[in-house]
Amino acid sequence: MPRGVIVVDHGSRREASNQAFETFVQQFSRRSGFDIVEPAHMEIAEPTIAQAFKRCVERGATAVVVCPFFLLPGRHWSQDIPQLTADAGNAFPEVPFYVAAPIGGHRLLVDLLTDRIEHCDRRRSGEFSECDVCQGQGGCISPYFPAESTELDH
């Protein structure tokens, strides 16, 4: 049974943030092995959950999984996204769907945070260039934490 996967974030008024999310979803699509993957924004930007759900069905999905790109369970995960997904699913009553758990709390997030900190430490010491997230944003370098400093002053 072909399954569609919708990765959904909050959505932003900042177009660069929406584009960064959609680039991530493209990477996820290439590496995950799922044939049908669509990005969606819960609000503010398009594509919406309804648009992504429709696109999954048009691409042949006979079931849909909505994956919140949220760290922790909150109102968006427990209420808003399920309601928006149910509303989208009403147009396709033959297509079962569910909303997956948010990504927070997963054991790999410890490794991710450690990797980010270590990369930024090396960036600050001049060993690495900006990462893909900070590129052009001046990340890791802050007037509150000078580049020469490698330790937090307490």
From 126, 127, 129, 124, select the one nearest 143 (Cα to Cα): 124
Strand partners, 117: none
Mean pLDDT calculated for residue range 11-16: 92
Mean pLDDT calculated for residue range 77-81: 88
Phi, psi at 79, each rounded to 5°: -125, -60
Where are any strands of DSSP class E within 63-141?
A: 63-68, 97-99
**Model confidence band, residue 153 (pLDDT cutoffs 50, 70, 90):** very low
Neighbouring C-beta atoms of residue 74, cutoff 10 Å: 13
Identify which has the larger pLDDT, 34 or 113. 34
Cα separation of 57 and 75, whole Å?
A: 27
The model's pTM is 0.79
Q: Which two tokens stand for residue 8?
A: 């959904």
Mean pLDDT calculated for residue range 110-133: 76
Report pLDDT for 134.
65
Q: Which two tokens stand for residue 140?
A: 């890791």
Report pLDDT for 73.
80
Report pLDDT for 35.
92
Report pLDDT for 121.
78
Identify which has the larger pLDDT, 84 or 130. 84
Mean pLDDT calculated for residue range 136-149: 53
Residue 29 class from Cβ within 10 Å (0-12 exposed, 13-18 middle, 19+ buried)? middle
Domains parsed from the chain with CATH numbers: 3-99 (3.40.50.1400), 107-154 (no CATH)
